[in-house]
Amino acid sequence: MKNMAVKIMGLALVAAAAASIGWTADPDRIVVMNPQGIKPEIRKIPMAARPASLDGKTVYIVDTKYPNTKPFVEELHAALKAKYPATTWVLKDKFGGYMDDDPNLWKEIKAKAAGAIVLVGH
Amino acid sequence: MKSRFAVFVAGILALAAAGGLKPAAAQENSSTKPAAVGSRVRSMVELGSVYSNIYDIAVTVIETVRGPAALERLRAADRDNPAPRAGMEYILARVRFELKGRAVSDTLTFSLGESPLEWVALSEDLTEYERVPVKVPAPPLAGVVKPGGSIEGWVAFAVAEKDPKPVMVFDPDTGGATGRGRTLFFKLY
Amino acid sequence: MGVPAVPIITARFKELVTTISYKKGIPNMRITYTPHPITDRPAELCRQYIAGNDPNSGQPMLGQIYAGLSRPLSAEDGKAGFLPREERTRLLPPDTPDRLMEYFHEQGFTDGNPVILPTEERVAEMLKATSRQPDEWVGQMRPSPPHEAWYYTVEMVAVNAVMAGAKPEYFPTILALAGKGVTSMFSSTSSFARMVVVNGPVVDEIGMNTGIGAMGPVSRANSAIGRCWTLISRNLGGSGKPGETYLGSQGNPLNYNNLCFPENEAGLPAGWKPLHVQKGFKKSDSVVSVFSGWSMSDIAWYSPLPIHEVIRGWLEHFFSFGTTQATLVLDPIVAADVAASGHPTKESFAKYLAENTGTPGWLYWSQNEKALEQAKKGVQPYAGWLRQGEGAVVPVSRYTRGAAAGRNPAFMASKDSNETSTSIEIVVTGGGTNTFWSGGDFGYVGSASVDDWR
């Protein structure tokens, strides 16, 4: 009985090892390598705490300047001012093209604003 | 019969160990496989704002100092460095950061220490610890690294006294064109 | 930044934005969607969109934006940490070759064509062609700047080289290309294309074709190396997934092979330097050079005008997304004719073209609103130009560096180039069966040494 158990365990180990080096029970099956690269770990960014109210606060509307979208941005600015007059809505163009970073603007927003809307593209 | 079978099994296992069970890559660094102190971790960063070039980096945690010894060094660096909050203690890590370009025309530099998210400590369950506003012993892990150069310096964290296995994260992808690359993990124990 | 922020995106990109925000670590980003598109919509229509509902949530747009900035966070939203990711295995589960091929197609590992299945034996054979270790880092690649980058080793590149049908001797060239970290399938609605030009001794060593059909499907080396770049971009760079990491509205057929060809250095006129020498390498170096653009036209045209004038005229009126850069691929006969007409170097010809091409009026005035305003106010020289008619060519070159005539996004600016005064690159290839040439809106991106990867 004990001998049988040992043999069964041995065979199971052999099967596992064989599979790991590409041998399979079915001779028609083969093992190939993974063509994909390594995906990065995703670091979670905590969202910024929201203020209890936006009344009396400033919110920046940042236009990333995707071509020919100014009418939408300007209409949004006007609509927010009309609907939420207790909040100051500041319309700002981001520096450069829509792919360019604008650290100075982010610093300004951090110093002066309680929130930011970033838009839009396409 | 028994012994021949055993030899057969052992042979298969040996083949498997040599062949199919080897690690996929030498630099398999991840949150579940942080690098040990003293281990030089090779990675890459992209430098440049639009069409960037790949530069090779290596990061090594050379030594760590924890608890009262760390506080002593921090106080020696600046006597106004505060004590850690109750239940917490400091860890200092001395880190070497190396940068290498791949082409002669690769002359961009990497700025260390500009983002508070660049070096962060995690607890054993991968929760981030808050940053600590302390002045570290000289030299700090900060400055501009040129291709072919390196910077070695200290960085400080506050971790729970009861946390036996805190991990340090290096995240070059902290925004903008400074240098974007893979997040790396290092044991602080 | 530490400041509450909400993005507004058009509804067509919901899939893109939700996957990117997850990969950026903000899985519950508070996004408001608008109807699509927004570009070129009149103010009145925009007003209606804004007064209406988010097409995704059905909620009033303005109220949703306001709530995004003011509604308290959940406990989860305020926490840091790491989001789960599937672990990469080195080997795939065993199966029959037919089922594996289907699996590769289903997973997006292919370019739609069959691949050579990458067994360990085949990959090991490929790895013999480089002195680099299998676990050495080669590069990192992302579909476009906002996307995450994936990372890859020599072994992973070898897997894709096998799939592309490359011979081992092509591998150092493929590694050099992979090491640039530039995706061949840039994620943009405008359907980018890429081009790769190979120079140096490696061209003959591995049997690349510089003659008849150099830019076509004639040579195994040209085909496999170019194709491999697409497989690398998909599998090692995360590119090419429609809606998520690839947005090309119509796609670009050039992505199949990425215009991979070698320069015909033997066919260069005396005094015309090979491309890699122009970029600072030695003639004896083996180099890959990468270009980015959208389209390439095959100009098969007979004219009583000298060929350099035909090229000049084409360049003046040529139009596509990349309006301020161009690459000419000249057959050796054409290059010889151009050189004989008084252009002892590529740079001389590029300068001549840049200085002697204007911009079609319709293009100039539509891209330079301030100039049009000035013209209408009578300010010179704009007024004089406009007096010729809105369709007349305006004497402003699109191809001198810093040209404002076109208006390309900053990300199209090429780097790594030598100090030239133009954005025109010239490459020579082909078999000399006729005085034909190709031209496209490609700009030079950068070069990499093949020798470093031998």
Interval A74-85: pLDDT, tens: 999 999 999 999
Poorest-pLDDT segment among C258-262, C335-339, C417-421: C417-421
- Residue range C165-183: average pLDDT? 97
C17 upstream amide cis, omega within 30 of 0: no
pLDDT at B13: 53
Q: Is B139 contained in some domain?
A: yes
Model confidence pLDDT, tens digit, residues B128-167: 898 888 999 999 999 999 999 999 999 999 999 999 999 9
CA distance A18 to A23: 5
Phi, psi (degrees; rounded to nearest 5) at C226: -65, -40
Neighbouring residues of C209: CB distance < 8 A, sequence distance ≥ 6:
C218, C219, C221, C222, C261, C262
pLDDT at C373: 94
Model confidence pLDDT, tens digit, residues C46-95: 999 999 999 999 999 999 999 999 999 998 888 877 887 888 999 999 99
Model confidence pLDDT, tens digit, residues B44-86: 998 886 667 899 999 999 999 999 999 999 999 999 999 999 9
Torsion angle, CA of C321/C327/C328/C332, rounded to 10 degrees?
-150
Phi, psi (degrees; rounded to nearest 5) at B74: -65, -40
The reply to whether residue A99 touches residue B15, judged by beta carbons under 8 angstroms, is no
First and final CA of chain A: distance in angstroms?
A: 73
The reply to whether residue C280 touches residue B102, judged by beta carbons under 8 angstroms, is no
Residue C147 structure tokens: 């996307």
Q: Is B168 contained in some domain?
A: yes
- Residue range C35-55: average pLDDT? 94
Q: For residue B134, give its domain range.
A: 32-187
- Work out how many domains chain B is built from and give that number: 1
Instruction: State ipTM.
Output: 0.87
The whole-angstrom distance between C323's CA and the closest CA on chain A is 15
Q: Is B19 contained in some domain?
A: no
Q: Is B98 contained in some domain?
A: yes
By the 8 A CB rule, do B118 and B172 touch? Answer: yes
**Given a cut of 60, is residue C266 above it in pLDDT?**
yes
Query: Among all residues of chain B, which has the CA nearest to that of A98?
Result: B50
**B13 to chain A: which residues are within 8 Å by CB?**
13-14, 17
**Given a cut of 80, is residue B27 above it in pLDDT?**
no
pLDDT at A117: 96
**Three-class DSSP category at A1:** coil
Q: Is B9 contained in some domain?
A: no
The whole-angstrom distance between A26's CA and the closest CA on chain B is 18
Q: Is B116 contained in some domain?
A: yes
Chain C, 83 to 142: residues with Cβ < 8 Å from chain A are: 83, 85-86, 88-97, 100, 104, 109, 117-120, 123, 141
Residue A35 structure tokens: 């063509």
User: Is the CB of residue C209 less than 8 Å away from at least one CB of chain A?
Assistant: no
Of the candidates A45, A51, A84, the beta carbon closest to that of C24 is on A45
Other Cβ atoms closer than 10 A to C287: 26
The whole-angstrom distance between C148's CA and the closest CA on chain B is 9
**C65 to chain A: which residues are within 8 Å by CB?**
80, 117
Q: What is the 3-state secondary structure (H, E, C) of C232-245?
A: HHHHCCCCCCECCC
Confidence of residue C406 (pLDDT cuts 50, 70, 90): very low
Poorest-pLDDT segment among A44-53, C289-298, C329-338: A44-53
Q: How far is CA C22 from CA B172, B186, C85, C276, in A?
A: 18, 24, 11, 41
pLDDT at A7: 67
Q: Is B78 contained in some domain?
A: yes
By the 8 A CB rule, do C334 and C307 touch? Answer: yes
Q: Is B14 contained in some domain?
A: no
Which amino acid appears at position A7 of this protein? K
**Given a cut of 90, is residue B104 above it in pLDDT?**
no
pLDDT at B21: 37
Neighbouring residues of B46: CB distance < 8 A, sequence distance ≥ 6:
B52, B53, B54, B55, B179, B180, B181, C140, C149, C181
User: Is the CB of residue A9 less than 8 Å away from at least one CB of chain B?
Assistant: no
Confidence of residue C39 (pLDDT cuts 50, 70, 90): very high
Rounded to the nearest integer, the mean pLDDT of chain C is 92
Strands C296-299 and C437-440: antiparallel
Question: What angle in degrees, to the nearest 10, is found between the helix axes of C220-235 and C154-164?
Answer: 130
By the 8 A CB rule, do A73 and A96 touch? Answer: no
The whole-angstrom distance between A50's CA and the closest CA on chain B is 20
pLDDT at B103: 86
Which amino acid appears at position C16 of this protein? L
What is the CATH classification number for the domain harbouring B39? 2.60.40.1240
Rounded to the nearest integer, the mean pLDDT of chain B is 84
* Local mean pLDDT, 10-residue blocks, chain A (122 residues): 68 57 69 95 87 94 91 96 96 83 89 92 78
Which amino acid appears at position C91 of this protein? L
Chain A, 63 to 122: residues with Cβ < 8 Å from chain B are: 99-101, 103
Q: How far is CA C253 from CA A47, C196, C244, C257, C449, in A?
A: 41, 15, 19, 8, 27
Residue A27 structure tokens: 């001779």
The reply to whether residue A42 touches residue C22, judged by beta carbons under 8 angstroms, is yes
The whole-angstrom distance between C391's CA and the closest CA on chain B is 34
**Given a cut of 60, is residue B18 above it in pLDDT?**
no
**Given a cut of 70, is residue B4 above it in pLDDT?**
no
pTM of the model: 0.84
